[in-house]
């Protein structure tokens, strides 16, 4: 479904060049969930942004359903592949109501039955109709992220690119959104590519996981290897140990991996 081969992304020029993604390859089968975890700044969001062509400039090949992606994405493709962004506030227009935010994709793609779909999308993410006419600054952080998920789902896409979809959510809404993602996958056969720094969340949703560091994939492993706690790479083992909670002594022993 998604094949990424030797993907590279660079920003800037000359001495200031940032090589954000340096030769990343992986494939995600239809109906599969694939996770990206790893260091902050290691290029996870950049990989998703390249696939969604928010960063149109990339090296290497990305194929979706066998078709290589060009730098511009077609409207049909946009409908089939939706992204949930990491930064829920930045992703929602501050002067549009929730209703307008959810209505916009329906208008762009000329989908009918708008009111019913908007109400259904809100209830899918556990929000009542009273939120429909509020502005982003009038709702809490977690409520905003649910609106972002609702907007991505409203067009009923086949592929969801999820960038930290639950890191702004409280644990009960996180459980609701994770259950929702599982249910949708079962009912509609959706394909997920999900970035998260929460290993328990990734293991819950994804069958396979790539660990990134400094623009590269250092290790690909199955969720059960991640759970079993015996990853091959030292960097991955450090990630797993940090998941066990704050330990002042352990933090002092952390190593920076290049």
Partner 1 sequence: MTEARLLEVEDLRVTFRTPHGPVEAVRGVSFSLGRERLGIVGESGSGKSQTGRALLRLSARNGRVSAKKMVFDGIDLTNASERTMRRIRGARISMIMQDPRYSLNPVVKVGDQIAEAYRIHTGASARKARDRAMEMLETVRIREAGKVYDLYPHQVSGGMGQRVMIAMMLIPEPDVLIADEPTSALDVTVQMQVLALLDDMVRERGMGLVLISHDLNLVASFCDRVMVMYGGRVMEVLEAGRLHEAQHPYTRGLLNCLPSLEHPQHMLPVLTRDAGWLEEAR
**Interface ranges with partner 1 (CB under 8 A):** 11, 16, 18, 37-42, 45, 86-90, 130, 133-134, 137-143, 164, 167-176, 178-179, 182, 197-201, 203-204, 226-227, 229, 238-240, 242-243, 245-248, 250-252, 254, 256
Residue 208 CB coordination number (10 Å):
19
Nearest one of 219, 227, 183 to 202, comparing CA atoms: 227
Q: What is the DSSP string of 178-194?
A: HHHHHHHHHHH--EEEE
Of 45 and 82, which CB lies nearer to ligand ATP in the complex structure?
Answer: 45
Contacts of ligand ATP in 123-162 (CB under 6 A): 138-143
Closest CB to Mg ion among residues 106, 173: 173
Among 6, 17, 18, 175, binds ligand ATP (CB under 6 A): 18
Task: Check: CB of residue 157 under 8 Å from CB of residue 80.
Answer: yes
* Nearest to partner 1 of 27, 138 (CB atom): 138
Residue recorded with tokens 């549009």: 96
Tokens 């069958």 sit on residue: 207
The nearer residue to partner 1, 88 or 105, going by C-beta atoms, is: 88
- 170 scored as a contact of ligand ATP (CB under 6 A): yes
Among ligand ATP, partner 1, Mg ion, none, partner that 199 touches (CB below 5 to 8 angstroms by kind): partner 1
**Residue span 29-48 as binding mask against ligand ATP, x where in contact by CB under 6 A, dash where not:** -----------xxxxxxx--
Nearer to Mg ion, 88 or 105 (CB): 88
CA 58 from centroid of its chain's CA atoms: 19
Least gap, CB of 188 to ligand ATP (angstroms): 27
> Interaction with ligand ATP in 49-108: which residues (CB under 6 A)?
86
| Nearest C-alpha neighbor of 207 from the set 197, 217, 220 | 220
- The count of C-alpha atoms lying within 13 angstroms of the C-alpha of 204, restricted to the half-sphere facing its C-beta, is 18
**Segments of 14-55 assigned E as strands:** 18-28, 33-38
> Cβ–Cβ contacts within 10 Å for residue 234, how many?
12
The residue count of the chain comes to: 258
Comparing CB distances to ligand ATP, the nearer of 2 and 210 is 210
**Rounded to the nearest whole angstrom, what is the least distance from the CB of residue 16 to ligand ATP in the complex?**
9
């Amino acid at each position: 479904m998604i094949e990424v081969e030797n993907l590279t992304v660079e920003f800037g020029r000359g001495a200031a060049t940032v090589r954000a993604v340096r030769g990343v390859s992986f494939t995600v089968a239809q109906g599969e969930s694939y996770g990206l975890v790893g260091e902050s700044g290691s290029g996870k969001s950049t990989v998703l942004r390249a696939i969604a062509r928010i960063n149109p400039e990339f090296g290497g090949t990305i194929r979706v359903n066998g078709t290589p992606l060009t730098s511009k994405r077609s409207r049909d493709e946009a409908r089939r592949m939706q992204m949930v962004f990491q930064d829920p506030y930045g992703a929602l227009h501050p002067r549009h109501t929730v209703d307008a935010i959810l209505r916009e994709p329906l208008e762009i793609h000329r989908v009918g039955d708008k009111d019913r779909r908007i109400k259904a999308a809100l209830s899918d993410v556990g929000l009542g109709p009273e939120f429909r006419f509020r502005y982003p600054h009038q709702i809490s952080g977690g409520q905003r992220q649910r609106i972002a998920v609702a907007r991505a789902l409203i067009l009923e896409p086949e592929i969801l690119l999820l960038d930290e979809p639950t890191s702004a959510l409280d644990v009960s809404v996180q459980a609701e959104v994770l259950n929702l993602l599982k249910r949708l996958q079962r009912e509609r056969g959706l394909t997920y590519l999900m970035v998260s720094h929460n290993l328990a969340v990734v293991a819950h949703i994804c069958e396979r996981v790539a660990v990134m560091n400094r623009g590269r994939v250092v290790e690909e492993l199955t969720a059960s290897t991640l759970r079993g706690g015996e990853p091959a790479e030292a960097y991955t083992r450090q990630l797993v140990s940090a998941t066990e909670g704050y330990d002042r002594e352990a933090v002092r022993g952390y190593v920076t991996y290049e």
